Structure 1
Amino acid sequence: MTGEELITIVRGDITDERVDAIVNAANSSLLGGGGVDGAIHRRGGPAILEATRELRATTLPDGLPTGQAVATTAGDLPATWVIHTVGPVWSASEDRTPLLQNAYRSSVRVARELGARTMAFPAISAGVYGWPLEDAARIAVSTVRAVLSSGVGSVEHVRFVLFNDDALAAFRAAAGE
């Protein structure tokens, strides 16, 4: 199976996805925020906030570093886990591409550690963090393809779930669709 067959790109609401793991474009505090992060916390209910508060009280007292990922329960979401990752804020003066790539790689690594077979990603860093959409899509698709093509681990399918038509078009173009 090729990397292309392992990835689908759809328009929708990531909080509706019935997958093993939903990836949250979180902020480093892990305590909720706007955009995808806020939607996941609202729809997932208090169990997600309780889990992230526990992480902050124990293993991540300073928050989750940019490019890293950690999992919690999915609470009331139709998934088993939420994998929280912190994407970088885009900068015109500094290339932060490796941090964005690592957010995707770390998320897949955590999914594999959990034994997840299916996962859904939003467009990390392409919202309030200001990453140009076409570039964010290119980095997302190429990084996930490369990780999945290694053939190592449990993840069999990744779905990019985009909230609007512009993001959908950018990700489809990046995937060559």
Structure 2
Amino acid sequence: MRHVPATAEAYAAVVLAALAVGCVEQAPTAPSPPPPLTGSYTLTVEASDVCRLPVSRFVWGMEATSSGSSTTAGQTLLVRATLPAGDATVDLSLTAGANSVASGTLTARSAAFGDEMLRVTLAGAALATIATGPAGRGEVRDGTYNGAIALAPADDPDPRSAGSCTAASHHWTLAAR
């Protein structure tokens, strides 16, 4: 058997071929859809620092449902959270795209909260990023609420009689329970 020495050109061709295989461009991966917001949650709304209200923090136990749909822009997640048994006195409705950014509305219609004798009314736009929480469920850790917060005693027909504030910098969270 005769041994043929490798030439520099042959060696360079083998090295270039190996490098070319390692440089194959990967196709971009589609963004993953946001984690679902389903089950029991705690919704907390905090009034902006610019507000001078007698109460600035509002907390409710909520039930959330999510459904997905496909569009030409990709996956869309539709979320609805209400008080238990579908009570829409407090209602959060969101639409989230594949980038997990969600937008929608947050409303409360003369809703009780905590042990206060007051009721709160909310009406405005909600914006947030849905993050992965416990057990893979979605949650919102730092949402913004742009709208009105109004307070009144339960029996007062004027929903603003105990104070109101409209701001673009209210905050809200939706934590899995």
Higher strand share: 2
User: TM-score with structure 1 length normalisation?
Assistant: 0.27
Higher helix share: 1
User: TM-score with structure 2 length normalisation?
Assistant: 0.27
